[in-house]
Amino acid sequence: MSFLSCEEMLAAARSQNLSLAEAILRSDLAESRLTEEASRHAMHHLWHVMEATSRDYDPAQRSRSGLSGGDAAKVEQAHQTELAQPEGQTDALDISSRNLSRYVAKFGPYPAWRDTAAHYFSCGEEMYPQLLADLDKAEKFIFLEFFILRSGKMWDGVEQILRRYPKVKVISTEKSFMLMRQFGFHPDEHECVEVKEGDTHCFGKHTVTFVGAPMVHWPEAMVTFDTTNGALFSADAFGSFIALDGKLFADEVNFDRDWIDEARRYLTNIVGKYGPHIQLLLGKAAGILDQIKFICPLHGPVWRKDLGYFIDKYDKWSRYEPEVKGVLIVYASMYGNTEAAAQALAARLCEKGITNVSVYDVSNTHVSYLISEAFKYSHIVLASVTYNLGIYPVMKSYLEDMKALNLQNRTFAIIENGSWACKSGDLMQKFIDEEMKNMTVLNERLSMASSLSDDKAVELDALADALVDSIQA
């Protein structure tokens, strides 16, 4: 507090016409920037520690001054003992791991322990009974992400546990409480604590700050920053598809080889439409970037190293900036002739030095992979047969998905096919021009009647050259 003496405390109380206790509380809130609830919680915690210590009071253990019975020293000793790194715990580790453990123990503080174990479950059904058992053993806090949307076996089991603890507090946003009630959960049976952007809450050793992240990817979304250890609980931001296979941290896997495509697929398909909202969240994170030590998403590995690498990816994806310069070719073929043209173009591009080329069959590839690739590449070639004077249905659906997920800033090229009425090219260009944002369509086009004949070699070359020039521009 800012008071240097009891006299200053009394003067402040008199000047504000407050009780001494209220004046001290206001001063504490102004300095700590905590909510009144968090401040009182911290005081209660300190009182309980003092109370517990006094139970073991031994007059024989008084300090030399006689002013204390040694309780303060015992409190500090207990605190240090609990958080201290036990001797010999890391001796079997290599030097790099020992240094990391020492760092985490000092600044986390999370010392390393032996004789511990992590249990991995093959599926949620197998994990569920253990989840209920662990929740039932909770002593102080139960942390839940509200992701179960309706009553059923899973949520009913969790709710039964919560009902056994009528004094449990439900901490959430105003929007979250609204959605809980809509989906049939009854938070009003418990004490509801509504938090908003910038609020803090103390949970004993840890104090967290709440940061709003609407539409990443639900309107009530909020991330939580633990100011004690620098852990950012990022909700759906910085997540990924793919099973962990026993790993926990991103640096334990070959992320560039095995994970980056699934991370992009996760973001672009779930939150792709809301790039501006991700940018807003990244802007908020920029102010505390030097304080973030861990990124803990709901899905995928925890980040503790090279945070800038993944943040940069999110920045590019959410600004709809191509991740790489290259060509994505997506074809819709009925008899194999449009596919042959797509492959011929891919070969021609490689011959001309553009080897970063990927070719997909829109009919046999789940659209989520195609969306991810569209966010990755700078140039997209759409090759479609004409079907009932329209765009082949699965290609039309792909275009609709790109529009729905707000893909922008790409260069398109078109291959069209039609045996008697070739319409798909004009219709695809019309859709790109009128329904999508900030797109460029190359003037060069490969137009076929049924199959790729030898006399189309010039058109094929012209299209390949136009793509090469555009990529190298």
**Ranges under pLDDT 70 in the chain:** 1-5, 32, 49, 51-84, 107-110, 114-118, 140-155
Angle at Cα 323 formed by Cα 317 and Cα 325, nearest 5°? 150
- What is the C-alpha separation between 197 and 92, in angstroms, rounded? 44
DSSP string spanning 199-243?
A: -EEEETTEEEEEEE-TTSSSTT-EEEEETTTTEEEEETTT---S-
Helix/strand/coil for 412: strand
pLDDT score recorded for residue 449: 93
pLDDT score recorded for residue 96: 73
pLDDT score recorded for residue 76: 55
Domains along the chain with CATH numbers? 124-194 (no CATH), 213-319 (3.60.15.10), 324-472 (3.40.50.360)
pLDDT score recorded for residue 416: 96
pLDDT digits (tens, 9 = 90+) for 129-163: 888 888 788 776 666 655 454 566 666 777 777 77
Residue 448 phi, psi (nearest 5): -120, 150
pLDDT score recorded for residue 138: 76
With 0-12 / 13-18 / 19 or more C-beta atoms within 10 angstroms meaning exposed / middle / buried, residue 237 is: buried
Question: Quick check: 174 and 196 in contact, CB under 8 A?
Answer: yes
Identify the CA nearest to 226 among candidates 137, 162, 143.
Answer: 143
Contacts of 94 (CB under 8 A, 6+ apart): none
Question: Quick check: 411 and 417 in contact, CB under 8 A?
Answer: no
pTM over 0.75: no
Question: Quick check: 440 and 321 in contact, CB under 8 A?
Answer: no
